[in-house]
Amino acid sequence: MYTGEFKQRVVEEMRQNGLSTYEISAKYEVARSVIQRWERIYLEDGAEGLYVERRGRTKHVSGTQKGRPPKLDKKVEEDLIAENQRLRMENDYLKKLSALVQERQFREKKRK
């Protein structure tokens, strides 16, 4: 188990001195994958993230599970589906209109 100070010192030394994960893992005798995880946490959450205990299972929070968005209200979901269908129909209509306009322009050029 490593302290937050140690993790921060390792990651900051690696970044400041331009060391690779191979070099820093050899120096501190810590697995590369562990240092890569620390660096990811450092970049995403800052140095404070290295002080948070991250062992064990992640907690279930209001319907979310490992990055999945929470389920939407039934009404909101129905509204989004309806809007999606309307936008698809509008897109199809505009494509057909564009094809008709291009066809007309092609015919007029052919006549000249």
Domain boundaries defined on the chain: 4-51, 71-112
pLDDT, one tens digit per residue, over 24-58 is 999 999 999 999 999 999 988 888 889 888 777 76
Residue 90 has pLDDT above 90, yes or no: yes
Average pLDDT over residues 88-97: 97
Per-residue pLDDT for 77 more than 90? no
Q: Is the per-residue pLDDT at 110 higher than 80?
A: yes
pLDDT of 97: 97
Pick the more confident residue, 38 or 67.
38
Cα–Cα–Cα angle for 7, 54, 62, rounded to 5 degrees? 145
pTM of the predicted structure, to 2 decimals: 0.51
